[in-house]
């Protein structure tokens, strides 16, 4: 099999997709990557489906110009609103992320699952289809995480305002008896330190990062795009807002690879 050392492309409305980047590069350490943080346009969750498609297209074009061999749409909102358009338009393989409601439905014992996601994800046709197919016999309690992404993008993921919002959003679910919480936005794994403090210890918290990494590996294998063991992997991160913010969510040795650009 031929080795393909072109990078895997990632995009998100901001820093959230770095939670997916970490899972993918952990599973596939030999792969190079290029990451797009469209922080100037965050949050996507409050935008119309047409706007989300247009933003996803311009991010994809930047990544393709950079030579990406496969694109990970590291954003639930962009996946659920735009991945079908992207697949129809471009020849590279796309991996998307959707809220992990299927594993949640399989693992819940109380039969009650909470889901925190953006308005854009919860309102999308793809999410409705996935929910319908995978949650029979389970009560899915959906909650928009309004305000969370802007606070995380402002660097306040550990602050009191986030804590208060989370309490407001999660207390009603807890009162209804959920034993499983799905984090349906790639920014939300960065709320885990606060979630740990405010959720009962038995509560299972799920996200889809590991599943995305596995699917990336599967598609790279199927399309014969794996980098193999040749050479050293390279990583580069682009943001159209503050490099200092994105750098905080990137492993220390790679922080010098974070660049500002207005090209997307
Ligand atoms: N990380 C994006 C997601 O997974 C955040 C969406 C937003 O910008 O509102 O949904």
- What confidence tens digit (pLDDT) does each residue in 52-110 have? 999 999 999 999 999 999 999 999 999 999 999 999 999 999 999 999 999 999 999 99
In the chain, which ranges are continuous DSSP H helix? 18-27, 49-65, 76-89, 101-107, 119-122, 125-134, 148-153, 160-175, 192-198, 209-222, 243-248
Residue at 146 is within a domain: yes
Pair (189, 118) in one structural domain:
yes
Residue at 252 is within a domain: yes
Pair (128, 203) in one structural domain:
yes
DSSP 8-state assignment for residue 7: P
Pair (155, 186) in one structural domain:
yes
Using CB atoms within 10 Å of the CB of residue 150, give its burial: 0 to 12 exposed, 13 to 18 middle, 19+ buried: middle
Indicate which residues carry an active-site annotation. 75, 185
Please report where in the chains the tokens 């969750």 appear, as a residue: 45
Which pTM does this prediction carry? Answer: 0.97
Instruction: Tell me how far the alpha carbon of residue 224 lies from the centroid of ligand 1, in angstroms.
Output: 30
Using the 3D structure, point to which of 165, 180, 207 is the last residue of a domain: 207
pLDDT, tens digit (0-9, with 9 covering 90-100), for 205-221? 999 999 999 999 999 99
Using the 3D structure, point to which of 173, 190, 207 is the last residue of a domain: 207
Residue at 196 is within a domain: yes
Residue at 167 is within a domain: yes
Atom of ligand 1 nearest to the CA of 153: 8
Mutate to test the pocket of ligand 1, among 10, 44, 51, 153 (most ligand atoms within 8 A of CB): 44
Tally of domains within the chain: 2
> Across all residues in the chain, what is the average pLDDT?
97
Residue 1 pLDDT: 62
pLDDT, tens digit (0-9, with 9 covering 90-100), for 158-197? 999 999 999 999 999 999 999 999 999 999 999 999 999 9
Residue 229 pLDDT: 76
Pair (180, 200) in one structural domain:
yes
Q: Whose CA is nearest to atom 8 of ligand 1?
A: 43
Residue at 246 is within a domain: yes
pLDDT exceeds 70 at position 230: no
Residue at 1 is within a domain: no
Instruction: Tell me how far the alpha carbon of residue 150 lies from the centroid of ligand 1, in angstroms.
Output: 10
List the Cα angle 206/207/211 in 5-degree steps. Answer: 115
CA atoms lying within 13 Å on the CB side of residue 152 = 28
Tokens of 57: 């297209």
Pair (53, 121) in one structural domain:
no
Instruction: Tell me how far the alpha carbon of residue 20 lies from the centroid of ligand 1, in angstroms.
Output: 12
Distance CA(169)–CA(146), nearest Å, equals: 9
Pair (62, 80) in one structural domain:
yes
Pair (92, 189) in one structural domain:
no
Atom of ligand 1 nearest to the CA of 97: 4
Pair (63, 149) in one structural domain:
no
Show the domain range for 252. 8-97+210-260
Pair (109, 198) in one structural domain:
yes
Atom of ligand 1 nearest to the CA of 16: 1
Pair (73, 146) in one structural domain:
no
Mutate to test the pocket of ligand 1, among 76, 146, 157 (most ligand atoms within 8 A of CB): 76
Pocket-forming residues, ligand 1, beta carbon under 6 Å:
12-13, 16, 42-45, 75-77, 118, 121, 149, 185-187
Tokens of 127: 């999410």
Mutate to test the pocket of ligand 1, among 48, 142, 186, 211 (most ligand atoms within 8 A of CB): 186
Residue at 3 is within a domain: no
Pair (110, 176) in one structural domain:
yes
Using the 3D structure, point to which of 175, 191, 207 is the last residue of a domain: 207
Q: Can you give the CATH number for the domain in which 170 is found?
A: 3.40.50.1860
């Amino acid at each position: 099999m031929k080795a393909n050392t072109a990078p895997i492309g990632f995009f998100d409305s901001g820093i959230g997709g770095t939670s997916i980047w970490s899972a993918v590069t952990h599973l596939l350490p030999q792969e190079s990557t290029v990451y797009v943080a469209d922080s100037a346009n965050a949050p996507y969750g409050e935008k119309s489906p047409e706007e989300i498609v247009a933003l996803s297209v311009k991010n994809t074009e930047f990544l393709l110009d950079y030579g990406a061999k496969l694109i990970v749409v590291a954003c639930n909102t962009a996946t659920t609103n735009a991945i079908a358009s992207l697949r129809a338009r471009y020849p590279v393989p796309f991996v998307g992320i959707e809220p992990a409601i299927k594993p949640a439905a399989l693992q819940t014992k109380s039969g009650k699952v909470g889901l925190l996601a953006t308005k854009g994800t919860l309102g999308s046709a793809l999410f409705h289809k996935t929910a319908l197919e995978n949650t029979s016999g389970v009560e899915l309690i959906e909650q928009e995480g309004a305000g969370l992404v802007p606070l995380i993008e402002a660097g306040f993921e550990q602050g009191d305002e986030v804590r208060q919002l989370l309490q407001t959003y999660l207390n009603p679910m807890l009162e209804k008896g959920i034993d499983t919480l799905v984090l349906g936005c790639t920014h939300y794994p960065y709320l885990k330190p606060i979630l740990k403090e405010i959720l009962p210890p038995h509560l299972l918290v799920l996200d889809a990062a590991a599943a995305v990494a596995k699917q990336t590996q599967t598609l790279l294998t199927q399309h014969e795009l794996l980098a193999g063991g040749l050479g050293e992997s390279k990583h580069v991160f682009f943001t159209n807002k503050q490099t200092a913010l994105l750098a905080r969510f990137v492993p220390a040795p790679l922080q010098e690879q974070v660049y500002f650009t207005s090209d997307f």
